[in-house]
Amino acid sequence: MSSAASSTSVAVTHSRWRQFYALTKPRVVQLIVFCALIGMALAVPGLPNTEQWGRILWACLGIWLVAGAAAAFNCVVEQHIDAKMKRTAWRPTAKGELTNPQTLGFSASLCVAGSALLYVFVNPLTMWLTFATFVGYAVIYTVILKPLTPQNIVIGGASGAMPPVLGWAAMTGDVGPEAGILFLIIFLWTPPHFWALALYRVEDYRKSGLPMLPVTHGSEFTRLQILLYTFILFAACLMPVAYGMSRWLYLVVAVVLSVGFCAYAWQLWRNYSDALARKTFRFSLIHLSVLFAALLLDHYFLS
């Protein structure tokens, strides 16, 4: 009996930790940390030394914790909306598996721990910028912008574009124009990426009551906006070469990826289907990941 009770207790504890872990939106946070890591790498000429590697590790951990805290806070605020949408109905807060006090306590703990690590082991500027990003996403975007305006993802995209800026600040103690270019790329990438998802999830958003662009302005207008943003994004993706941050390796990859994104957006505008919107959304993830990986490879192999 004691052994069975112990096994049950372990299983319950494991399940509870899995629920808390799910609140941090691991896939999203992984992309955030990856983009921050690229910012750190690009800020250091050549390979990092031992001290810099230590700072990189502490910065990645601190940013991961604060980003996870913001994701958990988002789950509390949007739990009733999440429960109405197939894409998010599985979240522990939406299913009532975790209470609001539990989730808020978890979020606060992650935020405090991450901020402390950044302040002590990285630098105060990175800590404050990361905390400002937390406030921008968890409060300004989630609480204020998202339920009020169809331009929520455009304005709120500033928070999502901050990771490489955080990475740059972690290694240099300041924010240079190079970090601004990386910020601009993600900022312009966010609307076409998210609107492609919103197109094939439009009924979910309509039920949730959120004023997403496909709900308020229709599919055709949203598709046109996606196309226009991919054109502007194409130009922004060439800025690292124009500024001298990268050379031919990145340029080739950026042109191929940007042409591909524009081609998807063009097809989506001319002949819409949910399947094509899904493909466009998935390609947008490949676009950003491979683009930043190319920046990293270019930095090391051509430096």
- List, for residues 159-214, the tens digit of each pLDDT value: 889 999 999 999 999 998 999 999 999 999 999 999 999 999 998 888 878 788 99
Residue 185 · residue 149 · CB < 8 Å: no
Rounded to whole angstroms, the Cα distance separating 259 from 23 reads 35
Rounded to whole angstroms, the Cα distance separating 56 from 147 reads 36
- List, for residues 214-242, the tens digit of each pLDDT value: 999 999 999 999 999 999 999 999 999 99
Residue 223 · residue 213 · CB < 8 Å: no
Among the three residues 136, 153, 175, which one is the final residue of a domain in this structure?
175
- List, for residues 246-293, the tens digit of each pLDDT value: 999 999 999 999 999 999 999 999 999 999 999 999 999 999 999 999
**Count of structural domains within the chain:** 2
Tokens of 286: 């490949």
CA distances from 23 to 1, 72, 130 (A): 33, 5, 19
Rounded to whole angstroms, the Cα distance separating 263 from 271 reads 12
pLDDT beyond 80 at 89: no
**CATH code for position 208:** 1.20.120
Asked if 142 and 286 sit in the same domain, the reply is no
Asked if 199 and 283 sit in the same domain, the reply is yes
- List, for residues 121-131, the tens digit of each pLDDT value: 999 999 999 99
Nearest alpha carbon to residue 98 among 195, 9, 17:
17
| Model pLDDT, residue 14 | 55
**CATH code for position 69:** 1.10.357.140
Give the pLDDT band (50/70/90) at residue 76.
Answer: confident
When pLDDT is averaged across residues 93-106 and rounded to a whole number, the result is: 86
Tokens of 179: 């970090």
7 belongs to a structural domain? no
3 belongs to a structural domain? no
Quote the DSSP letter at residue 228: H
Asked if 79 and 198 sit in the same domain, the reply is no
Average pLDDT, the chain: 89
10 belongs to a structural domain? no
Among the three residues 175, 202, 236, which one is the final residue of a domain in this structure?
175
Share of the chain above pLDDT 70, in %: 95
69 belongs to a structural domain? yes
Asked if 23 and 165 sit in the same domain, the reply is yes
Asked if 63 and 32 sit in the same domain, the reply is yes
Give the pLDDT band (50/70/90) at residue 13.
Answer: low
* Owning domain of residue 136: 16-175
Among the three residues 159, 175, 191, which one is the final residue of a domain in this structure?
175
Asked if 109 and 193 sit in the same domain, the reply is no
